[in-house]
Structure 1
């Protein structure tokens, strides 16, 4: 970068996070849509491929590629906005919390520990979850239906108006409790990621290769995803449009899923989610790290 154009570390984190979130969401949105629909399927049928085929049939429109494509990318706008903002806020606040903690222990001539990474990631995740919950409510409700379905939101602005009218401002924070609990997934992921990164890169001047970023991001994501996935599934159920009239509480929802769908019910949609998150995580972290170098 030349001397006439200089950006701060915070601006670099924001731009890198926005770019990573935008590209990742664009590529993986159809799998995100399938994951949401499988999570919201209340049937007791837990055969993965049968449920997967059922949702594909609902999206696929025979002899109309344009309509099928439109169904696959329904809700792309709130997903783009949400993921771009979320990654931008998360990376920026995570860096801020780590820097603050580093200054505290610098006097002790010590390095950040896994606990420091975990605390910073949890704080960043909590802030991100609170600020972005409204967009996730809108995303979940739009992705759970086709545009022609009865009661479906026609677009992002229609969803905003209807939530304000039917549920009030607090409607935008439905599912926030499991979102907050789900922060532990991001905290666990970043703790594993940064711990692996520190072990591989013990010198700030060493540049890691793309395959090393892929290894760290995949390992951290798979472990954190399988550990916290049931919380993510319950968040989707609480945010769904069908929950407006029933107003289920988290405890009621847990009992209902367990007795109607069994333990497997808590892992509905996990297959397309794994298929989605592996390339998504690889894209996100690789783009993020490379964009930081460019900026």
Structure 2
């Protein structure tokens, strides 16, 4: 029977994942701010300015809000990403360890089950951080009663909206856990198609993927499967961002639930 992963190995993976999350957020955060603002802008009444495209948004934010605008919500983003990556690797290795009992190795289905389980647990643990991040990213200079920072946002949300508000957007967040499964499935299907095509071209139907595919092919497979996963799960990101907006000054939320977001978005185009 295969040896079970040690506790040290699990923690090493958790630390490595946390470090990767920190590096990723640091370099990509301004684009994340722009993405969040595009996701909630619906052409109707909105506290978020209208931007023509990504370069215009980056320029407009930096001009009117400065460096702080481009890095709005950076602290909860770093905290959330670091915790997410660390917890994901930890929960994933724990799930695999549990499924490995009385088995020689894990099947693709059990790998996906482990990933889904880890993703769902991480989503539940970190949703309050993503909520605060979204609200800080949507703040503009003309915001009424703005949050002064992460801790003030957290206190204000709990005081004005209650603990349940911290889990707005949880449902679409859970659906986004399928991102990894979609990417994995797309990668395998694209790889099979590419191997089959190259085998026919070379008239060698017995050749393996290692014989037929080069580094460019594998890079293309990775990029295309990632794109397929992004396109499939992006609508859930839009729904989550719109649900996590701050309510109006009267305390009325813009959207009631995920279905309300879908209906209103479809109606307004």
The structure 1 residue matched to 2:237, chosen from 215, 232, 235, is 232
Map Cα deviations across residues 84-133 of structure 1 (whole Å, 9 max, x no partner).
10011112211221232233432xxxx43332222111111100000000
In structure 1, which of residues 253, 257, 260 is the aligned counterpart of residue 265 of structure 2? 257
Checking the alignment, whether the CA contact within 8 Å between 1:18 and 1:85 is kept in structure 2 is: yes
TM-score, normalising length from structure 1? 0.70
Partners of 1:54 and 1:256 in 2: how far apart? 27
Residue 169 of structure 1 deviates from its aligned partner by 0.9
> What is the aligned counterpart of 1:59 among 58, 61, 85?
61
Equivalent pairs counted in the alignment come to 235
Q: How does 1:176-255 map to 2 (within 5 A)?
A: 176-189=170-183, 217-242=222-247, 245-246=252-253, 247-255=255-263
CA change 1:245–1:222 in 2 (3 A) is same
For residue 21 of structure 2, what is the aligned residue in structure 1?
A: 21
Q: In 1, distance between residues paired with 2:61 and 2:137?
A: 11
Q: Deviations over 1:123-152 (max 9, x none)?
A: 111000000000000000001123553233
Pairing 1:273-284 to 2, within 5 Å after superposition: none
| CA–CA distance in structure 1, aligned partners of residues 221 and 16 of structure 2 | 18
C-alpha change, 1:189 and 1:99, in structure 2 (3 Å) is farther
Aligned to 1:69: 67
Shift of 1:193: 6.8
User: Residues 53-83 of structure 1: CA distance to partner in whole angstroms, max 9, x if unpaired?
Assistant: 6634540327xxxx52221111110100000
Distance in 1, matches of 2:33 and 2:265, equals: 21
Task: Measure, in 2, the Cα distance between the counterparts of 1:147 and 1:214.
Answer: 42
Structure 2 counterparts to residues 22-171 of structure 1, below 5 A? 22-43=22-43, 50-52=52-54, 55-56=57-58, 58-61=60-63, 68-106=66-104, 111-146=105-140, 149-171=143-165
| Inter-CA distance 53–26: structure 2 relative to 1 (3 Å threshold) | closer
RMSD: 3.1
Residue 80 of structure 2 contacts residue 126 of structure 2 at CA under 8 Å; is this kept in 1? yes
1:114 and 1:195 in contact (8 A); partners too: no
Q: Which residue of structure 1 lines up, in the alignment, with residue 194 of structure 2?
A: none
Larger Rg: 2
d(CA) in 1 for partners of 2:113, 2:58 = 40
Cα separation, partners in 2 of 1:158 and 1:212, compared to 1, 3 Å? farther
Distance 2:146 2:162 in 1: 18
C-alpha distance 254-236 of structure 1, shift in aligned 2 (>3 A): same
169-178 vs 216-225, greater mean Cα deviation = 216-225
Q: Quote the Cα distance in structure 2 between the aligned partners of 1:130 and 1:229.
A: 19
- Give the superposition deviation at 1:223: 1.8
- Matched residues in 2 for 1:195 and 1:86: separation? 28
Question: What TM-score does the superposition give when structure 2 sets the normalisation length?
Answer: 0.76
